[in-house]
Structure 1
Protein backbone atom coordinates (compact mmCIF):
# COMPACT_ATOMS: atom_id res chain seq x y z
CA UNK A 1 0.00 0.00 0.00
CA UNK A 2 2.90 2.30 -0.74
CA UNK A 3 1.29 4.33 -3.50
CA UNK A 4 -0.06 7.84 -3.73
CA UNK A 5 -2.23 9.66 -6.22
CA UNK A 6 0.74 11.21 -8.04
CA UNK A 7 2.25 7.75 -8.73
CA UNK A 8 -1.15 6.41 -9.70
CA UNK A 9 -1.71 9.35 -12.06
CA UNK A 10 1.30 8.26 -14.15
CA UNK A 11 -0.12 4.77 -14.71
CA UNK A 12 -3.73 5.55 -15.63
CA UNK A 13 -5.24 6.51 -18.94
CA UNK A 14 -8.42 8.48 -19.50
CA UNK A 15 -11.19 8.40 -22.07
CA UNK A 16 -13.58 11.31 -22.21
CA UNK A 17 -17.04 11.55 -23.69
CA UNK A 18 -20.07 13.77 -23.53
CA UNK A 19 -21.94 13.44 -20.30
CA UNK A 20 -25.66 13.45 -19.68
CA UNK A 21 -27.34 15.28 -16.85
CA UNK A 22 -26.99 18.84 -15.63
CA UNK A 23 -24.99 21.42 -17.52
CA UNK A 24 -27.40 22.83 -20.07
CA UNK A 25 -25.80 23.86 -23.34
CA UNK A 26 -22.39 22.93 -21.89
CA UNK A 27 -23.36 19.23 -21.94
CA UNK A 28 -23.79 19.26 -25.71
CA UNK A 29 -20.42 20.88 -26.40
CA UNK A 30 -17.88 19.62 -23.88
CA UNK A 31 -16.68 16.09 -23.13
CA UNK A 32 -16.86 16.08 -19.33
CA UNK A 33 -17.57 12.41 -18.62
CA UNK A 34 -14.34 10.64 -17.65
CA UNK A 35 -13.59 6.95 -17.91
CA UNK A 36 -10.39 6.06 -16.05
CA UNK A 37 -8.57 2.88 -17.09
CA UNK A 38 -5.89 1.21 -14.98
CA UNK A 39 -3.93 -1.95 -15.72
CA UNK A 40 -3.06 -3.88 -12.58
CA UNK A 41 -0.79 -6.29 -14.48
CA UNK A 42 1.34 -3.53 -16.04
CA UNK A 43 1.62 -1.50 -12.83
CA UNK A 44 5.01 -1.02 -11.16
CA UNK A 45 3.43 0.22 -7.93
CA UNK A 46 2.43 -3.21 -6.67
CA UNK A 47 4.27 -6.46 -5.97
CA UNK A 48 3.19 -9.69 -7.68
CA UNK A 49 1.43 -10.80 -4.51
CA UNK A 50 -0.50 -7.52 -4.28
CA UNK A 51 -1.40 -7.75 -7.98
CA UNK A 52 -2.95 -11.18 -7.40
CA UNK A 53 -4.98 -9.89 -4.45
CA UNK A 54 -6.16 -6.88 -6.47
CA UNK A 55 -7.07 -9.06 -9.45
CA UNK A 56 -9.22 -11.30 -7.25
CA UNK A 57 -10.93 -8.57 -5.25
CA UNK A 58 -11.57 -6.16 -8.16
CA UNK A 59 -12.66 -8.80 -10.65
CA UNK A 60 -16.09 -7.22 -11.09
CA UNK A 61 -14.51 -3.87 -12.07
CA UNK A 62 -12.54 -5.22 -15.05
CA UNK A 63 -13.63 -4.40 -18.58
CA UNK A 64 -13.22 -6.80 -21.51
CA UNK A 65 -9.57 -5.73 -21.99
CA UNK A 66 -8.68 -6.65 -18.39
CA UNK A 67 -8.38 -3.05 -17.18
CA UNK A 68 -9.93 -1.64 -14.03
CA UNK A 69 -12.53 0.87 -15.12
CA UNK A 70 -13.84 3.82 -13.07
CA UNK A 71 -16.41 6.15 -14.61
CA UNK A 72 -17.25 9.62 -13.30
CA UNK A 73 -19.67 12.19 -14.68
CA UNK A 74 -20.70 13.86 -11.43
CA UNK A 75 -19.31 17.34 -12.13
CA UNK A 76 -19.57 19.79 -15.03
CA UNK A 77 -15.79 20.02 -15.28
CA UNK A 78 -13.62 17.37 -16.92
CA UNK A 79 -10.75 18.21 -14.55
CA UNK A 80 -12.91 17.66 -11.45
CA UNK A 81 -14.26 14.40 -12.87
CA UNK A 82 -10.68 13.20 -13.45
CA UNK A 83 -9.79 14.04 -9.85
CA UNK A 84 -12.87 12.26 -8.50
CA UNK A 85 -12.23 9.17 -10.65
CA UNK A 86 -8.60 9.03 -9.50
CA UNK A 87 -9.68 9.38 -5.87
CA UNK A 88 -12.24 6.58 -6.33
CA UNK A 89 -9.56 4.34 -7.83
CA UNK A 90 -7.11 5.08 -4.99
CA UNK A 91 -9.74 4.28 -2.36
CA UNK A 92 -10.76 1.12 -4.22
CA UNK A 93 -7.16 -0.13 -4.43
CA UNK A 94 -6.43 0.73 -0.79
CA UNK A 95 -9.57 -1.07 0.42
CA UNK A 96 -8.78 -4.13 -1.69
CA UNK A 97 -5.31 -4.40 -0.14
CA UNK A 98 -6.51 -4.26 3.47
CA UNK A 99 -6.02 -7.69 4.99
CA UNK A 100 -8.97 -8.99 6.95
CA UNK A 101 -8.26 -10.06 10.48
CA UNK A 102 -8.51 -13.77 11.13
CA UNK A 103 -11.34 -14.49 13.52
CA UNK A 104 -10.22 -16.35 16.61
CA UNK A 105 -13.04 -18.43 18.03
CA UNK A 106 -13.47 -17.76 21.73
CA UNK A 107 -13.92 -20.54 24.25
CA UNK A 108 -16.78 -20.08 26.66
CA UNK A 109 -15.33 -19.78 30.14
CA UNK A 110 -16.15 -22.36 32.78
CA UNK A 111 -17.86 -19.75 34.97
CA UNK A 112 -20.07 -18.52 32.14
CA UNK A 113 -21.02 -22.10 31.27
CA UNK A 114 -21.94 -22.88 34.89
CA UNK A 115 -23.97 -19.67 35.19
CA UNK A 116 -25.89 -20.46 31.99
CA UNK A 117 -26.64 -24.02 33.13
CA UNK A 118 -27.70 -22.73 36.55
CA UNK A 119 -30.12 -20.27 34.97
CA UNK A 120 -31.51 -23.04 32.78
CA UNK A 121 -32.04 -25.25 35.83
CA UNK A 122 -33.84 -22.46 37.71
CA UNK A 123 -36.07 -21.76 34.69
CA UNK A 124 -36.84 -25.47 34.37
CA UNK A 125 -37.77 -25.75 38.05
CA UNK A 126 -40.00 -22.68 37.74
CA UNK A 127 -41.89 -24.28 34.86
CA UNK A 128 -42.06 -27.65 36.63
CA UNK A 129 -43.68 -26.01 39.67
CA UNK A 130 -46.38 -24.45 37.46
CA UNK A 131 -47.49 -27.84 36.19
CA UNK A 132 -50.39 -29.44 37.97
CA UNK A 133 -50.02 -33.11 38.72
CA UNK A 134 -52.98 -34.96 37.25
CA UNK A 135 -53.05 -38.47 38.65
CA UNK A 136 -56.05 -40.15 37.15
CA UNK A 137 -56.46 -43.69 38.52
Structure 2
Protein backbone atom coordinates (compact mmCIF):
# COMPACT_ATOMS: atom_id res chain seq x y z
CA UNK A 1 0.00 0.00 0.00
CA UNK A 2 1.28 3.49 -0.83
CA UNK A 3 1.33 6.39 1.61
CA UNK A 4 0.32 9.62 -0.19
CA UNK A 5 2.60 12.60 0.51
CA UNK A 6 1.86 15.10 -2.28
CA UNK A 7 0.11 14.80 -5.64
CA UNK A 8 2.52 12.74 -7.71
CA UNK A 9 4.63 11.70 -4.70
CA UNK A 10 3.95 8.71 -2.47
CA UNK A 11 5.96 6.23 -0.42
CA UNK A 12 5.65 2.47 -0.55
CA UNK A 13 4.93 1.04 2.88
CA UNK A 14 7.68 -1.52 2.27
CA UNK A 15 10.23 1.34 2.49
CA UNK A 16 9.30 1.96 6.14
CA UNK A 17 10.60 -0.15 8.98
CA UNK A 18 8.55 0.17 12.18
CA UNK A 19 9.58 -1.40 15.48
CA UNK A 20 8.01 -1.01 18.89
CA UNK A 21 9.90 -0.06 22.02
CA UNK A 22 9.02 0.62 25.65
CA UNK A 23 7.77 4.15 26.12
CA UNK A 24 8.88 6.36 28.99
CA UNK A 25 6.81 8.60 31.21
CA UNK A 26 3.46 8.15 32.95
CA UNK A 27 1.17 5.21 32.25
CA UNK A 28 1.54 2.93 35.27
CA UNK A 29 1.88 -0.80 34.64
CA UNK A 30 0.92 -0.42 30.99
CA UNK A 31 4.05 1.59 30.19
CA UNK A 32 6.25 -0.96 31.99
CA UNK A 33 4.74 -4.04 30.33
CA UNK A 34 3.73 -3.07 26.79
CA UNK A 35 6.00 -1.76 24.03
CA UNK A 36 3.71 0.96 22.68
CA UNK A 37 6.20 3.54 21.38
CA UNK A 38 6.75 3.24 17.62
CA UNK A 39 10.18 3.80 16.13
CA UNK A 40 10.04 4.41 12.39
CA UNK A 41 13.13 4.09 10.20
CA UNK A 42 13.14 5.39 6.62
CA UNK A 43 16.20 5.05 4.39
CA UNK A 44 15.94 8.40 2.60
CA UNK A 45 19.35 8.12 0.94
CA UNK A 46 18.35 4.97 -0.97
CA UNK A 47 14.62 5.57 -1.43
CA UNK A 48 13.47 5.11 -5.05
CA UNK A 49 10.29 7.13 -4.36
CA UNK A 50 12.01 10.46 -3.73
CA UNK A 51 13.33 12.80 -6.43
CA UNK A 52 16.98 13.78 -5.93
CA UNK A 53 16.13 17.40 -5.03
CA UNK A 54 13.66 16.32 -2.32
CA UNK A 55 16.07 13.66 -0.98
CA UNK A 56 18.90 16.16 -0.47
CA UNK A 57 16.66 18.74 1.17
CA UNK A 58 14.97 16.08 3.34
CA UNK A 59 18.26 15.02 4.91
CA UNK A 60 19.01 18.69 5.56
CA UNK A 61 15.56 19.39 7.09
CA UNK A 62 15.62 16.20 9.21
CA UNK A 63 18.66 17.45 11.13
CA UNK A 64 19.48 15.23 14.12
CA UNK A 65 16.73 12.76 13.15
CA UNK A 66 18.89 11.62 10.21
CA UNK A 67 21.84 9.27 10.70
CA UNK A 68 25.13 9.53 8.80
CA UNK A 69 23.89 6.77 6.48
CA UNK A 70 20.86 8.81 5.44
CA UNK A 71 18.31 6.91 7.54
CA UNK A 72 15.63 9.04 9.20
CA UNK A 73 14.56 7.81 12.63
CA UNK A 74 11.29 9.07 14.15
CA UNK A 75 10.11 7.91 17.57
CA UNK A 76 6.42 8.38 18.39
CA UNK A 77 5.28 7.81 21.97
CA UNK A 78 2.46 10.33 22.32
CA UNK A 79 -0.39 7.78 22.43
CA UNK A 80 -1.12 4.65 24.48
CA UNK A 81 -1.50 2.24 21.57
CA UNK A 82 0.96 0.90 19.01
CA UNK A 83 -1.39 1.64 16.12
CA UNK A 84 -1.89 5.33 16.99
CA UNK A 85 1.85 5.81 17.58
CA UNK A 86 2.62 4.12 14.25
CA UNK A 87 0.17 6.42 12.43
CA UNK A 88 1.65 9.43 14.26
CA UNK A 89 5.20 8.50 13.19
CA UNK A 90 4.14 8.02 9.55
CA UNK A 91 2.31 11.37 9.54
CA UNK A 92 5.36 13.12 11.03
CA UNK A 93 7.57 11.61 8.31
CA UNK A 94 5.08 12.70 5.63
CA UNK A 95 5.08 16.25 7.04
CA UNK A 96 8.89 16.27 6.99
CA UNK A 97 8.89 15.19 3.32
CA UNK A 98 6.25 17.83 2.46
CA UNK A 99 8.46 20.49 4.06
CA UNK A 100 11.47 19.24 2.08
CA UNK A 101 9.48 19.20 -1.20
CA UNK A 102 8.38 22.83 -0.79
CA UNK A 103 10.48 25.12 -2.95
CA UNK A 104 11.35 28.35 -1.15
CA UNK A 105 10.45 31.43 -3.20
CA UNK A 106 13.40 32.94 -5.05
CA UNK A 107 13.98 36.42 -3.70
CA UNK A 108 16.06 39.05 -5.41
CA UNK A 109 17.72 41.36 -2.92
CA UNK A 110 16.80 44.99 -3.51
CA UNK A 111 17.91 48.24 -1.97
CA UNK A 112 15.58 50.84 -0.48
CA UNK A 113 14.70 53.74 -2.80
CA UNK A 114 15.46 57.40 -2.20
CA UNK A 115 11.97 58.20 -0.83
CA UNK A 116 12.11 55.25 1.60
CA UNK A 117 15.52 56.37 2.89
CA UNK A 118 14.20 59.92 3.34
CA UNK A 119 11.13 58.67 5.26
CA UNK A 120 13.41 56.68 7.55
CA UNK A 121 15.62 59.70 8.25
CA UNK A 122 12.59 61.95 8.82
CA UNK A 123 11.22 59.44 11.32
CA UNK A 124 14.53 59.31 13.16
CA UNK A 125 14.72 63.11 13.30
CA UNK A 126 11.15 63.31 14.60
CA UNK A 127 11.88 60.73 17.30
CA UNK A 128 15.09 62.54 18.30
CA UNK A 129 13.10 65.77 18.67
CA UNK A 130 10.59 64.06 20.96
CA UNK A 131 13.39 62.69 23.15
CA UNK A 132 15.19 66.04 23.15
CA UNK A 133 12.00 67.65 24.47
CA UNK A 134 11.89 65.24 27.43
CA UNK A 135 15.33 66.19 28.75
CA UNK A 136 15.56 68.51 31.73
CA UNK A 137 17.28 71.80 30.86
CA UNK A 138 18.80 74.02 33.49
CA UNK A 139 18.82 77.60 32.25
CA UNK A 140 21.36 79.73 34.14
Same fold per TM (> 0.5)?
Answer: yes
Q: Which structure shows the higher strand fraction?
A: 2
Give the aligned CA root-mean-square deviation in angstroms. 3.0
The aligned residue for residue 58 of structure 2 is 54
Map 1:1-137 to 2 at 5 A: 1=6, 2-4=8-10, 7-63=11-67, 65-113=69-117
Relative contact order (alpha carbons < 8 A, sep ≥ 6): 1 or 2 greater? Answer: 1
Give how far 1:108 is off: 2.8
8 Å CA contact 1:22–1:76 kept in 2: the answer is no
Query: Gaps spanning 5+ residues in structure 2: where?
Result: 1-5, 133-140
8 Å CA contact 2:45–2:69 kept in 1: the answer is no
The aligned residue for residue 133 of structure 1 is none
Query: Gaps spanning 5+ residues in structure 1: where?
Result: 128-137
Normalised to the residue count of structure 2, the TM-score between the two structures is: 0.69
Paired residue secondary structure (2:78): coil
Give how far 1:47 is off: 1.6
Q: Deviations over 1:53-107 (max 9, x none)?
A: 2233324222355310000111110000001111111111111222222322234
Normalised to the residue count of structure 1, the TM-score between the two structures is: 0.70
8 Å CA contact 2:59–2:70 kept in 1: the answer is no
